[in-house]
Structure 1
Amino acid sequence: MRTIITALILLVSFNVLAQDLDMFLKKTDAFLKQHVTDGKVAYSKIYENTSELDELIVFAKSIKVSESSPKKYQAFWINAYNIFVIKGIVDHYPIKSPLDKTGFFDKTKYNIGDKSVTLNDIENKLLRAKFSDPRFHFVLVCGAVGCPPLINNAYLPSTLNDQLDTQTKLALNGDFIKVNTKRKRVSGSEILKWYKEDFVQNGSEIDFINTYREEKIPTDFKLSYFSYNWNLNKQ
C-alpha cells in the first residue's frame, strides 16, 4: 500500500510541475508576442506596466526542471534567460545598454527554477556545461543589438530542436557573418570569438558556419571578428 501511495504522490507532483512549466511557457509566449517586434523589445511599454512581467517572474521562481528531460530543461532555461534579461533592463530603465549596469550578467542574482543564479550562471553552468550545443548562442538574447534577434514566441520542448536550427541558420546567413570574396576574408560576430571552443568541436569555425549557411564559405578564407554592438535592442 505504501508503495502505491508513494507512486501516486510522485505522479501528482510530476503533473503539477509539468502544469507549472506549461503555464510558464504559455505566459512567456503571450508576453513575447505582445512586446517583441522584429527582434526589438518594447522596454518603455513594459516599464510603464510591469504586471505581466512580474507574473512571469513569480512563475519562474518555483518551477523545477530535470536534465533527465533535456528538452523541457533547455526550453525552460532559455526562456528564463531571455525573460530575466528583460527584467534586468526594465529594473534599471532607461539605460542605453545592458553594460550600463555593473554586474548585469555576472553579479545580479535572481531566484529562478528554485535556484539563485546570475544570467551567466544560466548560460555557462546550467546550459553550456551540461549540453554541448553551440546553437544556444543564437537563442540566448543579451538585450543588445549585436545579439541574435529575440523571437516573439516561447521556445517549446516539442519544437526546440527546429527553433534552435532556425535561429542558427538566420544568424549565420545574416548579420552575424560578412564575407569578402575578393579578399578571401570572412568576419563574424565576436560571439564566435568569445565561445570559440563551442564552435570547433567538430572542425574549424568555418566548418561550423558552413553547416548552416546556404552559400558556403571556402575553408581557406581568413576569419576575423567585428566589434559587438552593445546598444539596447529597443523598439
Structure 2
Amino acid sequence: MKLSPFGTWGGLFSTPWEKSFFTLLGEKRTLDWVEHEKIRVDFDEPRIHAALVCAAISCPKLRAEAFTAENLNTQLDDQMLTFLNDRDKNGIDDKGIYLSKIFDWYRDDFNGLQDYLLEYISALSDDPAQKEKVKQQSLNIRFVDYNWILNSIDNR
C-alpha cells in the first residue's frame, strides 16, 4: 500500500473514507457510507457538517467531548457556531461572505444557504450593517479553498 497524506489507511487510488474496514448492520462499511448513506440521508441535519471532521486544516475543529443523545442539539449548535466563528474559514469582509468549501459541496443540505446563515448571523459578524446585508441577501458568497493537509503539531 502506498503511503498517502492520510497515513497507511489510503491506497494508491482511494482515500481512508472509501476503505471498508469495519462491520455495521452485518456488512463491511466505509466512513463515506456512514456519512453520505446513513447520517445525511436518515437525519437531514446540516449541522453534522460542522461535527463530522476529516482532520484536515480546513475542517471544523474536533470537539473535545463525545456527542450524546441528551445534549446533541446543543452540541450541534455549538459546533456550527464554533465553525462559523473560525475566521480562517468563514466570515464577512468588504467583498461579502466567505465560507468554507463545505458549504459549497453540501449546499443542498442547507436548504437555502443564505436563509440558513441567518440562524447563525451572530457568528459571522457583530456589525449591524453587515447583518442587515445578510438578511437582505445582498452579499456575494464566495468559498475559500480547502486545505487538505492534515492537522498535526508539525503543520502549525
Q: Which runs of 5+ in 1 are unaligned?
A: 1-91
Of the candidates 118, 130, 135, which is equivalent to residue 210 of structure 1?
118
* Percent of matched pairs sharing the same residue: 28
C-alpha displacement at 1:197, in angstroms? 0.2
| Larger of the two Rg values belongs to structure | 1
Q: Does 1:190 align with 2:108?
A: no
Instruction: Write out aligned runs for 1:213-232 (5 A).
Output: 213-214=121-122, 215=125, 216=131, 218=134, 219-232=137-150
Q: Secondary structure at the residue paired with 2:97?
A: strand
Aligned to 1:137: 49
* Whole-angstrom distance in 1 between the partners of 2:18 and 2:49: 20
Of the candidates 151, 154, 157, which is equivalent to residue 69 of structure 2?
157
Q: Secondary structure at the residue paired with 1:171?
A: helix
Any conservation in 2 of the 1:97–1:231 contact (CA below 8 Å)? Answer: no
The TM-score with structure 1 as length reference comes to: 0.53
Range moving further from structure 2, 155-164 or 114-123: 114-123
| TM-superposition CA deviations, 1:82-118 (whole Å, max 9, x none) | xxxxxxxxxx98x5457x9342245310214344111
C-alpha displacement at 1:173, in angstroms? 2.3
Q: Secondary structure at the residue paired with 2:18?
A: coil
Any conservation in 2 of the 1:97–1:230 contact (CA below 8 Å)? Answer: no
* Whole-angstrom distance in 2 between the partners of 1:151 and 1:107: 23
C-alpha displacement at 1:234, in angstroms? 1.6
Aligned to 2:128: none
* Whole-angstrom distance in 2 between the partners of 1:157 and 1:177: 28
Structure ranking higher in helix proportion: 1
Q: Which runs of 5+ in 2 are unaligned?
A: 126-130
* Whole-angstrom distance in 2 between the partners of 1:106 and 1:229: 17
The TM-score with structure 2 as length reference comes to: 0.77
* Whole-angstrom distance in 1 between the partners of 2:57 and 2:40: 22
Any conservation in 1 of the 2:91–2:98 contact (CA below 8 Å)? Answer: yes
* Whole-angstrom distance in 2 between the partners of 1:133 and 1:142: 18
Instruction: Write out aligned runs for 1:174-189 (5 A).
Output: 174-175=86-87, 176-180=89-93, 182-183=94-95, 185-189=96-100
C-alpha displacement at 1:174, in angstroms? 2.1
Provide the alpha-carbon RMSD of the alignment. 2.4
